[in-house]
Amino acid sequence: METIRGIVPPYLLRQIASLEDDRYATAARAAQHALSERPGHGGHRHPSARPPAADTPLRRRVSDAENRTELPGRVVRSEGDPPTGDVAVDEAYDGFGATDGLLRSVYGRQSIDDAGLTLAGTVHYGVAYDNAFWDGSQMVFGDGDGEIFGRFTASLSVIGHELAHGVVEYTAGLVYRDQSGALNESVADVFGALVEQHAAGQSADEASWLIGEGLFTEAVQGRALRSMSAPGTAYDDDVLGKDPQPAHMDDFVETTQDSGGVHLNSGIPNKAFHLVATGLGGNAWEVAGRIWYETLLGDLSPRATFEQFARATVAVAENHDAADVVRSAWQSVGVWTESTSPSSSSG
């Protein structure tokens, strides 16, 4: 059975589900339930939306599943409504606004489909549900088990990540398996990080580059689910084990699990983007983010490999006087060597 394609990787859920420590009994049951769910995102491509003649306003809608699993649940806050006092509802609403703010103000994109799609989400999904996911039409957030994970609306990078899967579906349509699937996950991490940085006004050097910071409870020795600046260092815990993400092609993981290691091998292009952003300096969403965004809009194969995606980013970077930095970043993570790197006359 294919497991859920959510923000929490299946390998981490399996580790939690196997725990026999009474301190984590609720977490183990919650992880077992999350693994049995089959909603997903990515791996298909929506028809390209045609932007309307006039700008469309931001539209948000947050529903409450009331600890059931029927979607979308009861609408509790719509665009323009005041805060509800339910922290999960209000965090989701604000996170949708922050994500739209990046897409609209920086890239001129009107919502995730570029045609003003309502940003919809459901909170309080299930009981102690240990994940958050984009189901192809809306966001879904669990409240966490309280032992290992807290509520999944607490991390803005998670909200940005999952909505970015929608952007991928409406653009490149990267197939959610093997290297193209790892790129799908990486692009979602990139824009999850950029949403967080843009909202905080952080430069590339100031940013944490963590995905899912704030999800773990204090019982966990870890900062986040993933680190883009140093893949493999996000957590190192006696119970959860050590973050297994590679940062270089030398450590690429060959596996049939997790759709071919999409949450693992995404660490390699994640590190490449971090190197580009910090190499260029300033705000990562301005040049580095624009290169990645324009690559999604280009003639990219839905089954693109790391090398094909890398070459596409270098070609786009030529238009931004950044090709040398981009080329060097991909070489640093082993996607190509100096002799196989695409040549350039400038950059």
Give helix 306-317 / helix 288-297 axis angle, nearest 10°.
110
339 vs 269, residue with greater confidence: 269
- List the domain range (segments joined by +) for residue 197: 10-332
Q: Which position among 162, 169, 185, 196 bears the catalytic label? A: 162
88: exposed, middle or buried (C-beta count within 10 Å: 0-12, 13-18, 19+)? buried
The answer on pLDDT for 42 being more than 50 is no
What are the Cα distances from residue 79, in Å, to 41, 49, 104, 110, 116? 25, 22, 16, 15, 13
Question: How many whole angstroms separate alpha carbon 42 and alpha carbon 169?
Answer: 6
- Position 345 scores a pLDDT of 43
Q: How many C-beta atoms surround the C-beta of residue 44 within 10 A?
A: 12
Question: How many whole angstroms separate alpha carbon 50 and alpha carbon 335?
Answer: 35
* The total number of structural domains that make up the chain: 1
Q: Is 211 contained in some domain?
A: yes
Q: Is 2 contained in some domain?
A: no
The answer to whether residue 263 is catalytic is yes
Question: How many whole angstroms separate alpha carbon 271 and alpha carbon 249?
Answer: 11
pLDDT, tens only, 171-198: 999 999 999 999 999 999 999 999 999 9
The answer on pLDDT for 2 being more than 80 is no
Amino acid sitting at position 293: Y
The answer on pLDDT for 236 being more than 70 is yes
Q: Would strands 210-211 and 119-123 be described as parallel, antiparallel, or unpaired? A: unpaired
Q: Is 114 contained in some domain?
A: yes
- Among 214, 236, 113, which residue's Cα sits nearest to residue 159? 214
Q: Is 345 contained in some domain?
A: no
- Of 35-39, 74-78, 186-190, 303-307, the one with minimum mean pLDDT is 35-39
Name every residue whose Cβ is closer than 8 Å to that of residue 305 and which is 6 or more positions away in sequence.
179, 180
Q: Which position among 41, 161, 263, 274 bears the catalytic label? A: 263
- Of 120-124, 256-260, 291-295, 301-305, the one with minimum mean pLDDT is 256-260
Q: Which ranges in the chain belong to alpha helices (H)?
A: 10-17, 25-36, 87-107, 156-170, 178-200, 258-265, 267-280, 288-297, 306-317, 323-332
Question: How many whole angstroms separate alpha carbon 217 and alpha carbon 269?
Answer: 28
314: exposed, middle or buried (C-beta count within 10 Å: 0-12, 13-18, 19+)? buried
41 vs 303, residue with greater confidence: 303
- Position 12 scores a pLDDT of 95
180: exposed, middle or buried (C-beta count within 10 Å: 0-12, 13-18, 19+)? buried
The answer to whether residue 307 is catalytic is no
Give percent above pLDDT 90 in the chain: 88
Q: Is 85 contained in some domain?
A: yes
* pLDDT band, residue 339 (cuts 50/70/90): confident
pLDDT, tens only, 301-338: 999 999 999 999 999 999 999 999 999 999 999 999 88
- Position 347 scores a pLDDT of 38
Q: Is 155 contained in some domain?
A: yes
- Position 338 scores a pLDDT of 80
Q: What mean pLDDT comes out for the span 221-242?
A: 96
The answer on pLDDT for 274 being more than 60 is yes
- Position 170 scores a pLDDT of 95
Question: How many whole angstroms separate alpha carbon 253 and alpha carbon 261?
Answer: 7
- Position 40 scores a pLDDT of 46
pLDDT, tens only, 85-113: 999 999 999 999 999 999 999 999 999 99
Contacts 24+ apart (CB under 8 A), 310-316: 310/269, 310/272, 310/335, 310/336, 311/342, 313/276, 314/342, 314/344, 315/342, 316/291
* pLDDT band, residue 54 (cuts 50/70/90): low
Q: Is 239 contained in some domain?
A: yes
139 vs 38, residue with greater confidence: 139
* pLDDT band, residue 31 (cuts 50/70/90): very high
The answer on pLDDT for 82 being more than 50 is yes
Q: Tell me the whole-structure pTM to 2 decimals.
A: 0.94
Tell me the pLDDT of the chain averaged across its residues.
93
- Position 5 scores a pLDDT of 65
Q: What is the CATH number of the domain that holds 310?
A: 1.10.390.10
pLDDT, tens only, 109-130: 999 999 999 999 999 999 999 9
Q: Is 326 contained in some domain?
A: yes
